Amino acid sequence: MHAVPARTNARVDFYERIGHHDLAPLWDVLRGLVTPEPVTPVVPHLWRYADIRPFILEAGELITAKEAERRVLILENPGLKGKSAITRTLYAGLQLILPGEVAPAHRHTQSALRFVVEGSGAFTAVDGERTVMRPGDFVITPSWTYHDHGNDSDRPMVWLDGLDIPLVQALDVSFAEGYPADQHPVTRAPGDSLARFGSGMVPLDAEPARKTSPVFNYPYARSRDALAALHKGPIDPHRGLALKYVHPHTGDWAMPTIGTFLTLLPTGFVTAPYRSTDATVYAVVEGTGVSTIGGQPFAWGPQDIFVVPSWVDVVHHASDEAVLFGFSDRPVQEALGLWRERRGAA
Ligand code: GTQ
């Protein structure tokens, strides 16, 4: 691209005059709009669970889940302060449900995922089916489905929420409403969706597939077993052993706006440099290691969360066998023909 044209007095005077008519000169801003490569305000960042856990529990003393509607501490990217966003299109937060609490039923056009970080045995109900959540489970709340959360266990429960809030905001398509009661009636037995859609089989005369996977809990035990079984086979040098969560009808991503995957990195494994256009949030399930993001090292352990911006090289080094859950807006980029990756240094 050529250099920015000089801002001569005559030009600046012109810009000023046309500004009053809600006009602006493209040539003065073009190079910042159509950049040769992604330019992002998003910065790499890591939240150490041990550091933030006390604040999550403190929030539990300040407000009830019911009053808050959702008692969540937002993981705000330091490059996006005040924007309630972890990347330009995605939101992430840590939600706390104390024993006996209920987060009341509502629905919204934003899609949500839950990834259990601490505790076991709380449930989320989606469209009349409850699923009990265990650490490492990946749970989906599809767009416009009623959902409430509750905790019948005797321990606090914390999970990572991932939502497409900034994307929905950019498109101005947010709709939301409460349900008249705290909890939506339960109409199906726990495990119904998984049995119906999650065993490599789907109902013979299934209704037309929806955009979001009907399997709304992908239990960690199963995903972990799959990765363990692949351990002896070939490993992608840039990605480690990586499996994506899929929609049983289409084989495509489980959610239309958020792509999710689980990665195993064997002990001592160092990934080759990798970058992609989808800024990605990682939650550490098992193991310890260091991820170097744009040359900056971030040491992580279980329950930590970190974010890799768009088009920045990442190298993961697992000190011991590690499992990482990841999510990004890749399905959106792929659907629009925009997604790119680069394997290895330039
Ligand atoms: O659980 O429905 O973190 O509506 C943000 C918005 C969680 C939820 C969030 C939400 C929810």
Band of residue 1 on the pLDDT scale cut at 50, 70, 90: low
Single-letter amino acid code for the residue at 108: H
Q: How far is the CA of 161 from the centre of ligand 1 (A)?
A: 7
pTM attached to this predicted model: 0.97
- Partners of residue 248 on adjacent β-strands: none
The whole-chain average pLDDT of the chain stands at 96
If one residue of 101, 163, 216 were mutated to test the ligand 1 pocket, choosing by the most ligand atoms within 8 A of its CB, it would be: 163
Band of residue 207 on the pLDDT scale cut at 50, 70, 90: confident
pLDDT digits (tens, 9 = 90+) for 129-174: 999 999 999 999 999 999 999 999 999 999 999 999 999 999 999 9
Percent of the chain residues past pLDDT 90, beyond the cut: 95
Is residue 85 over pLDDT 70? yes
- Partners of residue 265 on adjacent β-strands: 322
pLDDT digits (tens, 9 = 90+) for 39-84: 999 999 999 999 999 999 999 999 999 999 999 999 999 999 999 9
Residue 79 in contact with residue 41, Cβ under 8 Å?
Answer: yes
pLDDT of residue 345: 79
Protein residue whose Cα sits closest to atom 8 of ligand 1:
70
Task: Tell which atom from ligand 1 comes closest to the C-alpha of 114.
Answer: 1
Q: How far is the CA of 176 from the centre of ligand 1 (A)?
A: 11
Residue 162 in contact with residue 92, Cβ under 8 Å?
Answer: yes
Give the whole-angstrom CA distance, residue 227 versus residue 218. Answer: 14
pLDDT of residue 134: 95
Is residue 90 over pLDDT 70? yes
* Nearest Cα to Cα of residue 324 among 298, 309, 305: 305
Residue 80 in contact with residue 42, Cβ under 8 Å?
Answer: yes
Band of residue 346 on the pLDDT scale cut at 50, 70, 90: confident
Protein residue whose Cα sits closest to atom 1 of ligand 1:
70
pLDDT digits (tens, 9 = 90+) for 239-296: 999 999 999 999 999 999 999 999 999 999 999 999 999 999 999 999 999 999 999 9
Task: Tell which atom from ligand 1 comes closest to the C-alpha of 110.
Answer: 4
70 Cβ below 6 A of ligand 1: yes
112 Cβ below 6 A of ligand 1: yes
Q: Is 326 exposed, middle or buried (0-12, 13-18, 19+ CB in 10 A)?
A: buried
pLDDT of residue 206: 72
For each of the domains in the chain, give its residue range(s) and CATH number, in order of start.
Answer: 1-34 (no CATH), 45-343 (2.60.120.10)
Is residue 343 over pLDDT 80? yes
Q: How far is the CA of 99 from the centre of ligand 1 (A)?
A: 18
If one residue of 56, 70, 101, 159 were mutated to test the ligand 1 pocket, choosing by the most ligand atoms within 8 A of its CB, it would be: 70
> Which run of H or of E encompasses 50?
helix 49-62
Residue 137 in contact with residue 73, Cβ under 8 Å?
Answer: no
Phi, psi of 222 (to 5 degrees): -70, -45
If one residue of 148, 161, 168, 174 were mutated to test the ligand 1 pocket, choosing by the most ligand atoms within 8 A of its CB, it would be: 161
Is residue 114 over pLDDT 90? yes
Phi, psi of 68 (to 5 degrees): -70, -20
> Tokens 């994506």 correspond to what residue?
244
* Nearest Cα to Cα of residue 46 among 78, 2, 83: 78
